[in-house]
Chains A and B, each alone.
Chain A
Amino acid sequence: MLKILKYSFYDLMRSRWSYVYFLFYLLLGVVLLFLNNDLSKAVITLMNVIIILVPLIGTIFGVMYYYNSREFTELLLAQPVKRSSIFLGQYFGVATSLSMSLVIGLGMPFVFYGIFNSSAIWDFSLLLVTGAFLTFIFTALAFVIALRNENRIKGFGYAILLWLFMAVIYDGIFLMSLLYFEDYPLDKFSLVATMLNPVDLSRVLILLKLDISALLGYTGAVFQKFFGTNFGLILSSVLLIFWVVIPTFFIWRIAKRKDF
């Protein structure tokens, strides 16, 4: 698997898109620091961007990579390589290179601005770790969708829908249901609903760490009340790991049974 990972990674490191993605984050970091002139505020703005954008890019890139490397995958399948290693290797290759673009692209401007001497260093690190998690989660989901759909247009469609649902529609439905059922106790419902969406989960995780109660929102507040800040942080991190492991398991399982 490591060999496949290495080659997928090299392949991506050379593609124009990795650089576009990297430069985009570099620019974003510089502009935010320039406009905010304050590290903590820049971190908060960045959170809102990362939480929406990283899943989108992970999804699109994952689907695109899978479909583009299809013939290459067939070449690999005829080699004495285990099936699961081919797909897991490709997945980790894509997710790692995307995470690297994110971490290095955003990290550089903040390092030069003096993040190491600032109290925001842990907040910022957590932000990058969450961003990497989201990349791994949504790339895995994208691979699952692409493996399930031979038709590229359909695959892209489902992938975009998934992102739209997780990033936008889910919150809408969630809020509506909170309003609609306001006469009932909703603590547990909203806890579960938050855990079922990695985007919400990341948001709560970062906001708990930043400890800005005004921005926590209903779910964040419930989370904090229910679990406390520290336990809440640990729990949401563990859940994010589950969100990576479960789709990865599905990649493995679907790949094992698929015809090429």
Chain B
Amino acid sequence: MIEVKDLYKKFGKNEVLKGIDLTIDRDGIFSVLGPNGSGKTTLIKCILGMVLPDSGQISIDGKPLKNNFKYRNEIDYLPQIANFPGNLKVSELIDMIKDLRDSKATKDEELIDLFKLQPFLNKKLANLSGGTKQKVNLVLTFMFDSPLIILDEPTNGLDPISHLRLKNLINAEKEKGKTILITSHILSFVEEVSDEIVFLLEGKIYFKGTIAELKTKTEQPDFEHAIASILSSSYA
């Protein structure tokens, strides 16, 4: 599905991605992990076409991304920071995104119900709390039925009950045979949901595989310690 070949990107003098090769060719939940500044968001933004790589190729379903924007119809993306035009009402924002994607078949009502957003539909986005904005963000992401879902820090600002609902939602989407890409710093969440992890370190892929494989490789009994051991050995 996603094929990333020899991807390089630098911002000014700061080399963020130094030759990423990544192939994701099956459905399931893939978590992209790594310390701050390891290039997780940059990699995701390259896949979305928001950041233009210096060299290397990305293709989705065999089609290269260069000078192509229609492929984004096949991706649902949840941005890291939920910030929307403050003058719009929640319902208007939802209608607008639907309009932009020309998509009729959506399940926004179901999701509004799930996250209990009805009382906020007629409120302006500027007046919503951070957590509520994140819920709106989630509705916007999950209301389409695209085969690829990319979530950048999806748990930001969510209360425990919404967190739980999000997990159920992610699992339900996985059951439908979708590919889901997640970045998160909350290891318990990652351990619970992901099938495979991709560990980025200093702009390169340090590890790709299941959590069990990671534990064997680092000789650590649990996931948290496994991650910690990678980080401490790289910082040492």
Contacts and interface: CB of A to CB of B under 8 A. Distances in A.
B50 interface: yes
A78 B84 contact: no
Given A3-B99, A72-B84, A257-B52, 20 more contacts: A11-B85, A11-B87, A11-B88, A71-B81, A71-B83, A74-B79, A75-B140, A77-B48, A77-B50, A78-B72, A79-B101, A80-B69, A80-B71, A80-B73, A80-B101, A259-B11, A259-B50, A259-B51, A259-B52, A260-B51
A81 interface: yes
Interface of B: 11, 45, 48-52, 69-73, 75, 77, 79, 81, 83-85, 87-88, 96-97, 99-101, 140
B49 A77 contact: yes
Interface string A56-89: 0000000000000101101111111111000000
A209 to B, nearest CB: 38
Interface in A1-43: 3, 7, 11, 14-15
Best-surrounded residue of A75, A82, A257 (most CB of chain B within 10 A) = A75
A79 B144 CA distance: 12
Nearest to B71: A80
12 contacts: A7-B96, A11-B85, A71-B84, A72-B84, A75-B140, A77-B49, A78-B72, A79-B97, A80-B72, A259-B50, A259-B51, A259-B52
Nearest to B69: A82
Interface residues of A, number: 21
B93 to A, nearest CB: 9
A72 B101 CA distance: 15
Contacts of A260: 45, 50-51
Contacts of B100: 3, 76, 79-81
A69 B69 CA distance: 21
Contacts of B70: 80
Contact of A74 (B50, B71, B72): B50
Contacts of B69: 80-83
Contact of B77 (A78, A81, A257): A78
B72 A79 contact: yes
Interface of A: 3, 7, 11, 14-15, 69, 71-72, 74-83, 257, 259-260
Nearest to B84: A72
Contacts of A69: 85
Contacts of B51: 259-260
Contacts of A71: 79, 81, 83-84
A216 to B, nearest CB: 44
Best-surrounded residue of A72, A74, A79 (most CB of chain B within 10 A) = A79
A33 to B, nearest CB: 33
B114 to A, nearest CB: 21
A1 to B, nearest CB: 11
Nearest to A76: B100
B136 to A, nearest CB: 11
B79 A75 contact: yes
Across chains A and B, which 4 residue pairs bring their CB atoms closest together, nearest first?
A71-B83, A78-B77, A80-B72, A80-B73
